C-alpha cells in the first residue's frame, strides 16, 4: 500500500517512466527500500486499472511515460491528510516471545531479555555509526530514516528494561515467582 501510494505521489510531481520512478523512490526514501523495476511496472498497471494514472506517450528511448490523473491526485491528497494508525497492535514477534517465555517454566525470561537487549543494542550501535557518518545537509532522507530506526531500537531496549524491572518487582513481592538468579 505505502509503496503504491508513494510511487503515485512521486508521479504527482511530473510524468515519468517506470525506471525513473524506481530511482526517484529509492533516492527519496534514503535508499532503504529497494524496488525491482518489474514490481514498479506491475504497480503502474494496477494504478492505471484503478484510473489513478494514465499513459502519457513515450520518452526519447521509447519508454512508456505515465501521468497522474485527477482521481490520482485526490487519492494522494487523502493519503497525506490521513494519519497512519494501526487498527490493532501489529503482531510483534519479540513481544510474543517474551510473553510466552513468561508462561513457560523451562525458559529463563531474564536470559531471553538480555540476549535481545545485546542484539538490539548492537543494531543501535550500527545505526548510530551510520548516523555519525551521514551529512544531514546533503542526505536528509537518509538521516531521518536512521533517526526513525534509532528511536525504534531505543524504544525496544527501554521496553526490555521495563520488562526486567517489572519482573524484579514481582519477584520481590512474591519470592516463589523469582527466577533462579534472583533467588540466590
Partner 1 sequence: MTTPTAADPILELDRVWRVHGAGRTTVEALRDASLTVHAGELVAVMGPSGSGKSTLLTLAGGLDRPTEGAVRVLGQDLAGLRADGLAELRRRRMGYVFQDLNLLQGLTAAENVSLPLELDGTRPRAARKVAEAALARVGLGELVDRFPDDLSGGEQQRVAIARAVVGDRRLLLADEPTGALDSVKGEAVMRLLRDACEQGAGGVLVTHNAAHAAWADRVVFLRDGVIVDQAGPVAGPDTLLAPGTSAR
**Residues making contact with partner 1 (CB under 8 A):** 23, 26-32, 34, 114-115, 117-130, 132, 139, 141-142, 145, 149-151, 153-154, 157-158, 161, 164-165, 168, 181-182
Q: What's the CA gap between 144 and 168, in Å, rounded?
A: 36
Residue count of the chain: 184
Range 116-145 burial, b when 16+ CB lie within 10 A, else e: bbeebeebbeebeeebeebeeeeeeebbeb
User: Least separation, in Å, of the C-beta of 131 and partner 1?
Assistant: 8
User: Least separation, in Å, of the C-beta of 78 and partner 1?
Assistant: 28
User: Least separation, in Å, of the C-beta of 173 and partner 1?
Assistant: 17
User: Least separation, in Å, of the C-beta of 54 and partner 1?
Assistant: 26
Closest CB to partner 1 among 73 and 170? 170
C-alpha cell at 64: 512508456
Angle between helices 37-49 and 18-28 (to 10 degrees): 110
Q: Three-class SS of residue 24?
A: helix
Q: What's the CA gap between 127 and 30, in Å, rounded?
A: 13
What residues pair up with 64 in beta bridges, in sequence order?
58
User: Least separation, in Å, of the C-beta of 5 and partner 1?
Assistant: 19
Amino acid at each position: 500500500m505505502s509503496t503504491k501510494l508513494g510511487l503515485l505521489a512521486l508521479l504527482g510531481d511530473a510524468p515519468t517512466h517506470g525506471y525513473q520512478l524506481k530511482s526517484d523512490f529509492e533516492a527519496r526514501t534514503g535508499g532503504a527500500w529497494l524496488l525491482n523495476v518489474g514490481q514498479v511496472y506491475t504497480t503502474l498497471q494496477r494504478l492505471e486499472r484503478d484510473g489513478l494514472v494514465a499513459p502519457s506517450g513515450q520518452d526519447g528511448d521509447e519508454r512508456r511515460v505515465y501521468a497522474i490523473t485527477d482521481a490520482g491526485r485526490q487519492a494522494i491528497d487523502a493519503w497525506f491528510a490521513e494519519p497512519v494508525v494501526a487498527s490493532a497492535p501489529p503482531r510483534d514477534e519479540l513481544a510474543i516471545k517474551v510473553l510466552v517465555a513468561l508462561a513457560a517454566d523451562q525458559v529463563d525470561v531474564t536470559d531471553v531479555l538480555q540476549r535481545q537487549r545485546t542484539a538490539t543494542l548492537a543494531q543501535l550501535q550500527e545505526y548510530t555509526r551510520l548516523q555519525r557518518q551521514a551529512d544531514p545537509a546533503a542526505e536528509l532522507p537518509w538521516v531521518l530514516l536512521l533517526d526513525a530506526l534509532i528511536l525504534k531500537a531505543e524504544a525496544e531496549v527501554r521496553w526490555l528494561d521495563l520488562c526486567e524491572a517489572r519482573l524484579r518487582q514481582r519477584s520481590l513481592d512474591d519470592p516463589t515467582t523469582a527466577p533462579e538468579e534472583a533467588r540466590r
